[in-house]
Amino acid sequence: MADTIELELVSPEKLLLSEQVEMVVIPGEDGDFGVLPGHSPVISNIRPGVLSVFENGAVTQRIFIASGFAEVTMERCTILAEGAEPVEDLDQAAVDQEIQELREDATNADDDVSRARVNGALAIAEAKRTAITAPAY
pLDDT value at 1 more than 70: no
Output the pLDDT for position 104. 94
Say if residue 95 is in the same domain as residue 75.
no
Predicted TM-score (pTM) of the model is 0.92
List, for residues 103-132, the tens digit of each pLDDT value.
999 989 899 999 999 999 999 999 999 999
pLDDT band at 77 (very low <50, low <70, confident <90, very high): very high
Output the pLDDT for position 136. 84
Output the pLDDT for position 27. 97
Nearest partner of 62 among 79, 44, 83, 85, judged by Cα: 85
Query: Which CATH number belongs to the domain containing residue 62 in this structure?
Result: 2.60.15.10
Say if residue 126 is in the same domain as residue 101.
yes
Say if residue 39 is in the same domain as residue 53.
yes
pLDDT value at 134 more than 70: yes
Output the pLDDT for position 2. 74
Say if residue 53 is in the same domain as residue 68.
yes
C-alpha distance across the termini of the chain, in Å: 25
Number of domains in the chain: 2
Cα gap 84→42, rounded to integer Å:
21
Say if residue 34 is in the same domain as residue 70.
yes
List, for residues 8-67, the tens digit of each pLDDT value.
999 988 999 999 999 999 999 999 999 999 999 999 999 999 999 999 999 999 999 999
Say if residue 83 is in the same domain as residue 95.
no
Are 46 and 68 contacting, i.e. CB atoms less than 8 angstroms apart?
yes
Say if residue 83 is in the same domain as residue 120.
no
Say if residue 71 is in the same domain as residue 114.
no
Domain span holding position 23:
5-87
**Beta-carbon-side half-sphere exposure of residue 44 (alpha carbons within 13 Å):** 21
Tell me the mean pLDDT in the region 71-91: 95
Say if residue 30 is in the same domain as residue 80.
yes
Say if residue 17 is in the same domain as residue 77.
yes
Say if residue 64 is in the same domain as residue 44.
yes
Nearest partner of 81 among 59, 53, 49, 55, judged by Cα: 49
Sequence-separated (6 or more) residues with CB below 8 Å from residue 64 = 48, 49, 50, 51, 83, 84, 85, 86, 87, 90, 127, 128, 131
> In Å, what is the CA distance from 108 to each residue of 33, 98, 126?
37, 15, 19
